[in-house]
Structure 1
Amino acid sequence: MNLELAARMTRAAVDKAAEIGALVSAAVVDQGGHLVHFQRMDKAEIAGPTLAVDKAFTAVAHRIETAELASLTQPGADLWGLQANGGGRFVVFGGGVPCWHDGVVVGAVGVSGGTTEEDVACARAGLAVFESFLSDQSAP
């Protein structure tokens, strides 16, 4: 995950948000969960910057979309209590998507500010840029 690619990913997420009428913050982290690039749309909510980064961090740390964690963290489920760990950084609702390459999570994109569905759609738009980049790299 490099700065240029991460910037393209956050741009795609923000562009998707503008297309669907959402106001979001978008973040990309590397495989260690460290912030590589961040964008916040004008007038986006104040919680978005923290949540976008933490959604991306959670997706890297657990190698799963944060939307998939919702059911796994309900009382009695396998990961019950996860959201109370990691210094409160683990987000268990949609908007964080890991970026896989050769069976390894090499980064993630996180989006916050819209509805859960909007955040997921925007994060997946960022992921599509990553996947396109990988396809271009493997082309002859």
Structure 2
Amino acid sequence: MIRGKGRVNLELALRMTEAAMKQAFREGAAISVAVVDEGGNLVSFQRMEGAEVSGPTLAPGKAYTSVALRRPTSELPALTGPGGELAGLAGSGFVCFGGGIPLWSGYGGAAYVAGGIGVSGGTVTQDVACAEAAASVWASR
């Protein structure tokens, strides 16, 4: 669980997208990255030159999914498959593969989801690494 404090604002969202893109450069990936607030509303979006055409749909979708389900989207393939706890969820507007991370705020029993990060364009491993780089900005402020 990535913990920080406060709310997602534009200045912070821009710093998070920048961190994700720097990680993508190190990974050799061209990505799209989205930051959403606690309601899943888009706060910031960036698309690197050469990023896949699906990124403007998938990155915000991963960010929204991580907020709505309050879990990293990398956990969803096992949960949404046949017999899984969330079987049937995939394909119903949720993006159920890695690259989305919820941003938690508060401490102790008062923790709540304050927003989310979504990254798309690399491999799932690259997308997760870029999302984690963005989330580290949230956690370190």
- How many Å apart are 1:84 and its aligned residue? 2.8
Unaligned runs of 5+ in 1: 134-140
- The answer for the alignment partner of 1:138 in structure 2 is none
Confirm or deny that 1:100 pairs with 2:108: no
Paired residues for 1:81-120 under 5 Å: 81-85=88-92, 88=93, 90-102=94-106, 103-120=111-128
State, as a whole percentage, how many aligned pairs show the same letter: 57
Partner Cα distance (2:56, 2:91) in 1: 19
- How many Å apart are 1:14 and its aligned residue? 0.5
User: More helix per residue: 1 or 2?
Assistant: 1
Q: Let me know the Cα RMSD of the aligned residues.
A: 0.6
Count of residues paired in the alignment: 130
Which residue identity is paired with 1:93?
F
Q: 2:38 aligns with which of 28, 31, 41?
A: 31
Partner Cα distance (2:91, 2:75) in 1: 17
Partner Cα distance (1:39, 1:96) in 2: 15
Unaligned runs of 5+ in 2: 1-7
- The answer for the alignment partner of 2:4 in structure 1 is none
Which residue identity is paired with 2:134?
G
Structure 1 runs of 4+ off > 6 angstroms? none
- The answer for the alignment partner of 1:49 in structure 2 is 56
Which residue identity is paired with 1:75?
P
CA shift digits 1:68-127 (9 cap, x unpaired): 011000011110011132xx2x01100000000111000000000000000000000000
Matched residue SS, 1:83: coil
Partner Cα distance (2:56, 2:131) in 1: 14
Partner Cα distance (2:82, 2:60) in 1: 25
- The answer for the alignment partner of 1:126 in structure 2 is 134
